[in-house]
Structure 1
C-alpha cells in the first residue's frame, strides 16, 4: 500500500569500515538508538518497536497498546509479522528483507486502528520500526491526488480544444517566452505571436498568458476568429472549477462561466442578465461572499479604477471570505477592451501548506525532546538536522550549527 523506498546493504558493515573506538560509537549513534532499547516512557506520539533477530527487544507504550501481545518484550517476531501480513503482505516481505539483509524500507500501511507511515531500518545490532499515525491526513491526500488527476485531464482537454481552434494560439511566460503553440500557430511557422495578438491571462500560472491572433483566412468578418476563440474558451471553462468573468470597458459583465456562480453561491440566471461590476460586488457583499472591509465604498472604488486604463490594468489579491474560504483573484486586460477576472478557490491548498508546516514543527519539537541524540542524514550523507541531545552528547558545541555537514566531518569532530 504505497511505494517502498529501500536502502541496500548492511549498515553494520559501515561501522566496521569506519573503525573501532569512538568513531564506531559515533556512527552507531547516527544510525539508530544506542542503549537497551526504546525508553519505557517515550514522547506520546512515538509508536516504536525494536526487534532483535527473532523476537521483540522492546516497545514504547503506544506500540504495546497498538499491537498488544505482538509488541510484548520477548514476543516472537513471527507474531508481529503475521499481524502486518494480514494488513499488507508486501510489508511483511519488506520486514523479512530488513531482518535478513538489513534492507531499510518505508511504507504506508492500513491497520484496523487507522493508516500509519511505517519507517524501518537497522539500529546497531537490532532493527527499529517506527509507526506514525497519518489517518487524519490520508483522506485529504487521496482527495488531493484525485484533484491533481482531474486537473491534468482538464489541461489535456483544454489543449485539445485550443488545437481545434483555427485561430493561432501561443502560451507565453511572464517574460514573453513561448512555451506552447496550437496547431493553428504551428501552421503559420512563426515562433512568436504578432504584435496585434489578443492577450488572455491564465490564473495561478505565475503570470503566463495566451496570445491569440486572427487566422490568415478569417477576412470575411472582422473579429470572427476572435469570437470563435471566445466561444471555445467559454465552452471549455464551463467544465472547469476556476471561475472566469469578463467585464467590458463599461464595467458590464459580458461572459461568466458556471464556476463563478458556484464559487459564490449565486443564481446563474442573475449573472446571465449581465450585471455591472458595481451590482455584482454589492450583491456578493449582501450575501457575505466578499472579504470584510473597514471601508467598503473605498475598496470598491479602487476596483473601478482598473477600468481607467484598461491596457495597464493589473489586479491580484487573495479574498478571505467570512465563511473561511480563500479565493485567489486575478484581473488582467482582455482583448475585447475590458478586464477578465479569474477566481480560484485555494482553501484546500493553503490548509495543506499550513498542515505541512505544523507537521514539520511538531516533528522537530518531538526530536528535540528526546534524551537520545538524533541526527538526520540525506542520501548524500549531508546532515538535515540534529537535536540538542546529539550536540551535547558528542560535545560539538559551537562547532556544530544548522549548516549541512557531511557524516565524515561529524565523525572526525567527535574523535
Structure 2
C-alpha cells in the first residue's frame, strides 16, 4: 500500500477520535447539567451564544424572562447583571481563565466554565425552597406589567362571563368620572366601536373578555373639520358659473355644484347618489350632451382615454354638441388619486369669436376692393394688414410671410424700387412716433418711369396708415396701352 494512503487513514482516524472526544465532552457536560442538585439550582449549556441544553429550573427562569432560545444568553446575562454588575466582564475572560465563580450580596452564586467550546453556567441561591431567582424574575415581571397598566393612558378593563366589569385600570376609572374605584364600575363600552363619553370620543375593542379603548377626539375633530371644509367648498362652488364634478379614486362622484345641474340638466337625486364617472357620462350621452361618435364602443374607449388624460392633467377639449352648444371640458388630477371635471358653456364666446372673424374677413374684403394700396402699421411699427392693391403695386404680399414685418424693412424695399426721395425717411419716422402727429404726402418715381402718389396718416390707438396710388396718367397707360 502506498505511503499516501496510510497517512490519509491515520488522519481520518485522528478526526474520528477528535469527534468522539467532542461527543464525550458534550455528553459529560449534558450529564453535569442534568445532575443539578435538588436545592433549586439552574444549569445552562451554550455553544457560543446558542442555547443547546438547560435544566428544568433553568427553563422556568428563561420563561419568566420571556427569553427565546436565540436570545437566551443575552437576556440571562442582562438579568444576572442586576445582581452581579461585573459578571459580563468576567465571562469574557473564560477563554483565558476557564472558570469563573461569583457570589452576590443576596446569596446568588454564578459559576461559569468553558470546556471544548461549550459554556456551562450554573446558578445557585442560598434562599430556601423553590428557585428564588426564578421567583424574583417573575415578581419583577409582574411589577413591571403592573406599572405599565397603572400608568397607561389607555383604558383597560376585564369583563366577566355576564359582561360585567370585573377589573379596570386607573385610566378606565378616570373615563368613568370617578376619582377612586367604586364597585361595580359602570359599563362604559357596551359594544365595540366609537362611544361618546363625557370626557370625549373613544373607540372600544374587545378580545377574550379583555377590553381596550383609545381616544378619538382628534379623529372626530378632523372629521368635523373635513365636513366643515366640504361645506365651505360647496358654498364657494355654488357661485361658480362653471359646472364642477369631483370624483374620488374609485371614480365615484363626491362633490358637485348647482352650475353642473343647470348646465347638464341631471337630476339632483341622481348626482347625490354618488354615481360613477361612467354613469355620469352615460347620462350626458343620453341627453345628447357629448359629441356622438360613430359607434358606442369607440365612445367608451374615448371616455377611458378621457379618464386617463384627466388623471395626468392633460385633458382639455372643446365639445361641439348636437344642439348647437359648445362646451369646454377640462380634467384636472387631485391628491390621493381623485379627479375633477369642469364643464363650461362657451357658446357665447364662440359666437363672439366667429363674429369677430367674420368682421375681420369683411374688413379685409372691403380694403381689398379699394384701388389704393394700403398698409397699416401698429404703434410699434409692425405691419398689421395690407390689401390686394398693395400686393400688386409692389409685387409683394406680406400675408404670405409668417414672421412679423416692420416699417424699416418695408421702407428699405420701397426705397430700392424708387428714385431717391426724402419721403421714405419721413414715413419711417412718422410710423414709430408716439403722441399727436400730422400726416403728409408726396410723389414718388418708380425705376420704370411711372409716378406714384404716397400718403401717410395717423389712425386711432397710435396706428399708422400708408397709402399708395398710381398717377392717373400712368393708370391710363397701364389700362389702354
TM-score (norm 1): 0.41
Bigger CA radius of gyration: 2
Q: Higher RCO, 1 or 2 (CA under 8 Å, sep at least 6)?
A: 1
